[in-house]
Amino acid sequence: MDNNYLVLILIAIAIAIVVQMILNYLSSRRSITESLSERPRIRVKVTCVNGDFNYEREFIEGDFVGKIEGKCDKCGGLLIISAIYAEKPLTPIKRSEEHLKHRSKISQ
């Protein structure tokens, strides 16, 4: 009789541990996908030293502010990385706001 109780308790503990492991696994998976979708993109702003040309691109490993990118197509001056910044991905709501702002700018 005492032995049966012990077995039941052990089974209950085993089930509790398995359930806990499944919950941990599910929550860790969710946090990984959330962190992936919220990971900010790193953008690099490249500017001509004469200020007549600039563009933005994705960050590439080894980029730093002041790095010479090449020569300006317009004036032959140096293109230099002037800024590196993290861009938070826009949420759907913000994106639609941005869209509206853009539309109102066109209509003005």
Q: Is 59 near Zn ion (CB under 5 A)?
A: no
* Min dist. Cβ of residue 37 to Zn ion (A): 38
In this structure, the strands spanning 68-71 and 54-58 are unpaired
Q: Is 77 near Zn ion (CB under 5 A)?
A: yes
Task: Return the range that interacts with Zn ion (CB under 5 A); candidates 11-19, 22-30, 77-85, 96-104.
Answer: 77-85
* Interior angle at CA 58, CA 57 and CA 62, nearest 5: 110
Dihedral sign for Cα atoms in the order 27, 29, 32, 35: negative
- Out of 20, 27, 31, 50, the only residue in the binding site for Zn ion (CB under 5 A) is 50
Which residues sit at the interface with Zn ion, rule CB under 5 A? Answer: 48, 50, 52-53, 72, 74-75, 77
